[in-house]
Amino acid sequence: MIDLIRPQDVSVNEELTADGGEPSLRRGWLAGLAANPAAPPEVLGRLLAAHPLPDRGGWLAERPLPPAVLEAALAHPAAQVRRRLADNPHLTAKELARLAYDRDRLVRRACAVAAADRGVRLPVDALAALAGDRDTVNRCRALSCPGLPGGLLVRLARDAAPVVRAAAVTRRSWPLLPEEVRTALRADRDPAVRTAVLLARQTERPLPRTLAEYIAESDPRRRERAAAGAPIERRLGEWLLYDDDPWIRRAAAGNPHLPTDLALTLADDPAEQVRLAVSLRADLTEEQRAAIAIPSADGPHPVLAWVAARHGDPVRMRALAGSAHPLVRRSVAAAPELPAEVAAALAEDPDPLVRIALAESCDRAPHGLLVELFTAGPEYDGLAGRPGFALAGLAGLAGDPQPRRRLAALHDPLIAPERVARLTGDPDPAVADAAVRHPRLPLPVLRHLLASEHAPSAAANPGLPVDVMHCLLDLSGAP
């Protein structure tokens, strides 16, 4: 192995000073340091004080921030920095709540949106601050925050702004409001509020279950919903088999309440989508399923719910993995954990989407399958993080003529530093960039690349010594 040169053995400052005045280099260093997973709190703190800020602000919204850096970001004069913090999933409810009191209305809004989207229960005083916000949009956003106390809901239902009162009235909130508040809302002077009240007071009529109820139903959407999922009686099921609309027959074919013998009557339906719906029923035997002529199942399809419910049952997974239906096998392949022999068999499946589902979902997907798919294109970059991908031996692909296979070589945990160094000059930009970011890249090579067109990626290398990081910040003028 090459001896990694220690930063104190060389004068990094002397080598970089000549190029340190280049604005593009300075921007590149700052962007790279912001993305560097090994950057310590002191470096992150200096980045927050840099002017201009790093071009890419994602580091504020993606990585866990040390307490001192978080405090600096919360107090940062640029509102955009504080807004980005709201998107950081690593913030605790208490830390996110501090943004509810921010002086910038968009920061407060970002806090409310983040709490609603991530299901974060903010402290009551923060919810009260959002419910009393001077910005009407922010008060509306407060209604979506989980854990909103009844008293704040009443306050918002009595808000001076009609748009807030209308937003406070939903089917979920209406029963929670006191009678005097509901009386006032029914007589509200604003038509939008009265419309919201009418919608909130509507109750869902039961879907038709009997033949008489179905014939009396005039809403075609409710008819289709009844055919698809209502616990219909047998006479109605027999009626639906002969409906002229293939979408109604398709809905009935997938209704789990339709008796199996009636569903199999549709197995010879002239409409392909009807036959497909029958073939995906959970109550069929594999012999019955295989006897149905189904259309090509190209393209993505959702995982079958009844197969997903059996993902933890190795016996059922073994049986269903041998299904003649590709959509059943794809749903099996989507299981996070499968018996080793089932995973091995599905890795050889003739349906490419079965193999893709296995690689993306199952922890036992074979190494060879993961590498094969990874090399097919950048849309499979995520497979490099799957268990079983980064194994010793991948480095043997470093000389492969296919760029994606050379890229895979860099995921060998034992790849020699010399090979990494050679790949920094790869003609494929993705391979070269990955090599420049590789933690096993020799330090002398990395130092040289800091003054090249690869400067951002070199600064993002986790093997970069901390004193070199500070040197780059010095040259960039960061306080």
Report the distance separating Cα 206 and Cα 186, nearest Å.
Answer: 25
Helix axes 41-49, 67-74, angle to 10 degrees: 10
Q: Give the Cα separation of 283 and 300 in Å (integer).
A: 23
Whether 21 and 152 share a structural domain: yes
Q: What is the pLDDT along the chain (479 residues), one digit of tens a residue?
A: 233 333 344 444 555 544 544 778 888 999 999 989 999 999 998 998 887 777 565 788 888 888 999 999 999 998 989 999 999 999 999 999 999 999 999 999 999 999 999 999 999 999 999 999 999 999 999 999 999 999 999 999 999 999 999 999 999 999 999 999 999 999 999 999 999 999 998 776 899 999 999 999 998 999 999 999 999 999 999 999 999 999 999 999 999 999 999 999 999 999 999 999 999 999 999 999 999 998 887 778 899 999 999 999 999 999 999 999 999 999 999 999 999 999 999 999 999 999 999 999 999 999 999 999 999 999 999 999 999 999 999 999 999 999 999 999 999 999 999 999 999 999 999 999 999 999 999 999 999 999 999 999 999 999 999 999 999 999 988 88
User: Which whole-number Å values give the CA distances from 288 to 279, 324, 479, in the listed order?
Assistant: 8, 10, 73
Q: Do 35 and 73 reside in the same domain of the chain?
A: yes
pLDDT tens, residue by residue, 381-426: 999 999 999 999 999 999 999 999 999 999 999 999 999 999 999 9
- Return d(Cα 63, Cα 3) in angstroms, integer: 31
Both 26 and 146 in a single domain? yes
Burial group, residue 71, by CB count within 10 angstroms (0-12, 13-18, 19+) = middle
Is there a single domain that holds both residue 327 and residue 379? Answer: yes
H helix and E strand count, the chain:
33, 0
Give the end of a domain, one of 99, 124, 159: 159
Distance CA(432)–CA(7), nearest Å, equals 24
Give the pLDDT of residue 10.
Answer: 41
Percent of the chain with pLDDT over 90: 83
pTM, to two decimals: 0.81
Q: What is the DSSP string of 405-431?
A: HHHHHTT-TT--HHHHHHHTT-SSHHH
For residue 442, tell me if it sits in a domain.
Answer: no
Domain annotation covers residue 395: no
Summarised one tens digit per residue, pLDDT across range 149-185 is 999 999 999 999 999 999 999 999 999 999 999 999 9
Residues 25 and 146 in one domain: yes
Residues 74, 78, 82: CA angle, nearest 5 degrees: 35
Say if residues 436 and 458 touch (Cβ distance below 8 Å).
yes
Side-chain half-sphere exposure of 364, counting CA atoms within 13 A: 14
What residues contact 221, with CB distance under 8 A and at least 6 apart?
Answer: none
| Domain end position, chosen among 288, 317, 337 | 288
- Please tell me whether residues 125 and 25 are part of one structural domain: yes
For residues 21 and 120, state if they share a domain. yes
Q: CA 96 to CA 269: how far, in whole Å?
A: 56
| Final residue in a domain of this structure, among 362, 385, 408 | 385
Residues 199 and 230 reside in one and the same domain: no
**Which token pair is 38?**
């090994």
Gap between the Cα atoms of 209 and 339, Å rounded: 42
Instruction: Please tell me whether residues 323 and 241 are part of one structural domain.
Output: no
Q: Is residue 467 part of a domain?
A: no
- Residue 352 domain boundaries: 305-385
The answer to the question of residue 251 being in a domain is yes
Q: Quick one: DSSP state of residue 52? A: S
Does 124 share its domain with 57? Answer: yes
Residue 170 lies in a domain: yes
> Which pLDDT value is given to residue 322?
95
Specify whether the CB–CB gap between 417 and 395 falls below 8 A.
no
Q: Is 36:460 a contact under the CB 8 Å cutoff? A: yes
Same domain (yes/no): 103, 134: yes
- Domain count across the chain: 4
Q: Is residue 465 part of a domain?
A: no
Indicate if 248 and 311 belong to the same structural domain.
Answer: no
Q: Of 334, 358, 360, 323, which Cα lies nearest the Cα of 344?
A: 358
Domain annotation covers residue 95: yes
pLDDT at 6: 38
- CA-based nearest residue to 255, from 276, 282, 227: 227
Does 239 map to a domain? yes
